[in-house]
Amino acid sequence: MRLFYLMKLPHLLTVASCLSLLPVVSAQETKPSTAAATKPAGTPEGLHDLKIGDSAPDFSLPGIDGKTHTLADYKEAKILMVAFISNHCPDSHAAEGRMKKLIEDMKGKGFAFIAINPNNPDGLSIDELGYSKYNDGFDDMKRYATDSGFTFPYLYDGDTQAVAKAFGCLATPHIFVFDAERKLRYKGQFDDSRFEDAATVKTTDARNAVEALVAGKEVPLEITKPHGCSTKWLGKKELVSEKMEKWDQTPVDVELIDTNGVAVLRKNGTKKVRLFNVWATWCGPCVAEFPELVQSARKFGMRDFEMITISNDDPENVAKVKGFLEKRGAGLSPKLKASVKAEGRNTNSYVYSGASVNELMKVLDPEWPGAIPHSVLVGTNGEIIWRHNGPVDGEELRAKILEHLGAFYKP
């Protein structure tokens, strides 16, 4: 069974084409556009380039509050900011605190804020989710918004992505500010920093636009370039599937390792967090938990993370271990393969060669009670972050890894 089935991505509708220049965009029905003929190769069909002075595209989208939201619902606001954000993107995460601050500062000034998730979960590969607990589906939006303390409308456009196309959403975050007449007055980045710390911000372009409009002045800078994670169009679904299939077929090298070798790996000293898992092909719970381990390894495949497996099979059964690992898609990603090679190693998959498992326990984790499977999460300096004896709960494991790695880019 290929691993990408484990990702539990919802079955979504195919991408609908965008509406014409001033569309009424609905999650259920859209009209075709001829604008795509002028777009560069690689952009989705119907992606519109909203110009300064254009009217705000209408929309009808479900919100996490259980209501359907339309542009008319915000007609009383003098200024409207539409922010395309997402659950998975660290750049988007970083801007959220500053968005909340803007909303707070603009209370009583006729300012309205709407967040829209433009992404289709099928357009995301699992290793693009390494900065979040959640994918970008509607149910995950509810959980993410609760965790993040959202007090503003959070709407879902992932089924058709027609709204994202009508606005010309290129990334998350991507900001659009409209005046009282609902004419576009600013589009681009929220600010210039991709980090969470507000002290790293040098230019506050979206805030500047809002403050200028509140004061009845001209927007000082009308267009900037958005930065962040590209919009995850449903059209990428096939590419994601091909990537997963290729990963499933990646060969696995297996080597013998003794306690000295384990001690070196356990000491760490690299930039990577390491997850050690001791298992065996003859161990039922080990076999049962393995898909969750592989899913975890893939989820954090673009981060500083490495899963190291140590089999307690007979050292003569290296070929059997190799077959098991390959069947379950445990091959190294290109990034991790390069990292392993830079350390002078060939693999992250081993069979323990020593006679005494007690010696392995002493080296890897003195608190290991003895039974397998046993998992240990080790920090960059060799400190134990988390340990678990018995089959892991995949969600708990991934939450522990994310908790240590963090949900933001680091300066």
> What is the chain's mean pLDDT, rounded?
90
Cβ-based burial of 310 (10 A; exposed 0-12, middle 13-18, buried ≥19): buried
**CATH code of the domain occupying 250-405:** 3.40.30.10
**Least confident segment among 24-28, 130-134, 229-233:** 24-28
Per-residue exposure over 365-393, b if at least 16 CB sit within 10 Å of its own CB, e if not: beebeeebbbbbbbeeeeeebbebbebbe
What pLDDT, in 10s, does the model give residues 265-300? Answer: 999 999 999 999 999 999 999 999 999 999 999 999
Q: Does 399 or 38 have the greater pLDDT score?
A: 399
Tell which CATH classification among 3.40.50.300, 3.40.50.970, 3.40.30.10, 3.40.50.720 matches the domain 3-239: 3.40.30.10
**Which pLDDT score, from 0 to 100, does residue 29 have?**
35
pTM summary value = 0.86
What pLDDT, in 10s, does the model give residues 354-393? Answer: 999 999 999 999 999 999 999 999 999 999 999 999 999 9
**Whether 79 contacts 108, CB under 8 Å:** no
Structure tokens belonging to residue 94: 């970083």
pLDDT band with cut points at 50, 70 and 90 for residue 18: very low
**Which pLDDT score, from 0 to 100, does residue 72 have?**
97
What distance in Å separates the CA atoms of residue 260 and residue 111, rounded to the nearest whole number? 63
**Which pLDDT score, from 0 to 100, does residue 44 have?**
84
pLDDT of 32 over the 90 cut: no
Say what percent of the chain tops pLDDT 90.
88
Q: Which residue has the tokens 């400190």?
A: 383
Q: Over range 335-363, report the average pLDDT.
A: 96
What pLDDT, in 10s, does the model give residues 241-264? Answer: 999 999 999 999 999 999 999 999
pLDDT of 25 over the 70 cut: no
Kindly write down the DSSP assignment for every residue of 57-75, as one continuous string: PEEEEEBTTS-EEEGGGGT
pLDDT of 42 over the 70 cut: no
Residues of the chain with CATH 3.40.30.10: 3-239, 250-405
Q: Over range 208-231, report the average pLDDT.
A: 97
Q: Over range 215-236, report the average pLDDT.
A: 96
Tell which residue, 390, 255, 251, has the closest CA to residue 311: 255
What pLDDT, in 10s, does the model give residues 180-207? Answer: 999 999 999 999 999 999 999 999 999 9
What pLDDT, in 10s, does the model give residues 155-173? Answer: 999 999 999 999 999 999 9
**Which pLDDT score, from 0 to 100, does residue 246 have?**
94
pLDDT of 101 over the 70 cut: yes
pLDDT band with cut points at 50, 70 and 90 for residue 351: very high
Kindly write down the DSSP assignment for every residue of 143-179, as one continuous string: HHHHHHT--S-EEE-TTT-HHHHHHT--EESEEEEE-
Q: Does 32 or 203 have the greater pLDDT score?
A: 203
**Least confident segment among 23-27, 276-280, 315-319, 324-328:** 23-27
pLDDT of 26 over the 80 cut: no
